[in-house]
Amino acid sequence: MPDDSNLVLKPVPLQAESPPIVLASRSSARRMLLESAWIRADYRAADVDEHAIRATCRAQGHDAGHTALELAVAKARHIAAPPGAYVIGADQILTCNDTWFDKPETLKEARSHLRQLRGRPHTLHTAVVLMRDGATLWRHVACPVLHMRAFSDSFLDRYLQVEGDAILSCVGCYRLEGAGIHLFSRIDGEQAAIMGLPLLALLEALRAQGILLQ
């Protein structure tokens, strides 16, 4: 009987060899989500004026979900992708009691944001689009709701000390895959959507395009 104890199992591809997939994002969390799902993609940061797009959408009376979609489309359109490539754009807006939150620029601002969110539920409007050669093939917005517990100021001080500048890239000033999980009493929604990419819906869209195996 052959000894197979030293056999190495090679990964089985779950997606077609072509066309390529490009993620228009600099987010390490989004990249990790795709890689954990065995999705091969190129990663290219999109240089867009997010503040200007948000301001225009708000001036036109659009809600947070629509604005997040506009940002996702803008990112997907503003990268150089090979002809025929599928481009994924994504963005996220946090709202709490009709207030929109941007990513904090300093730990002092992060402290202020967390004090405003403390003890309240907030919504993450997480948008994702799939584009090809400039045409939008599919769009989706997930809206997970997170209930932040009424933590103490001493906990907040220690949390900011532990996480440091890492939370400045997070719209809610937390990483659920890290110490941020301690901020919450309840979470309603897909964790991947909270991290910035509604993965289940995206995988279904990729299957519908024939990129992934049915």
CB atoms within 10 A of CB 101: 18
Instruction: Give Cα 80 distance to the centre of its chain.
Output: 21
Q: How many CA atoms lie within 13 A of 39 on its CB side?
A: 27
Cα of first residue to Cα of last residue in the chain, in angstroms, is 36
Residue 189 burial (CB < 10 Å; 0-12/13-18/19+)? middle
From the list 71, 63, 172, the residue with the least C-alpha distance to 128 is 71
Active site residues: 91
Max CA distance (Å), the chain: 73
Cα three-residue angle 101-104-107, rounded to 5 degrees:
140
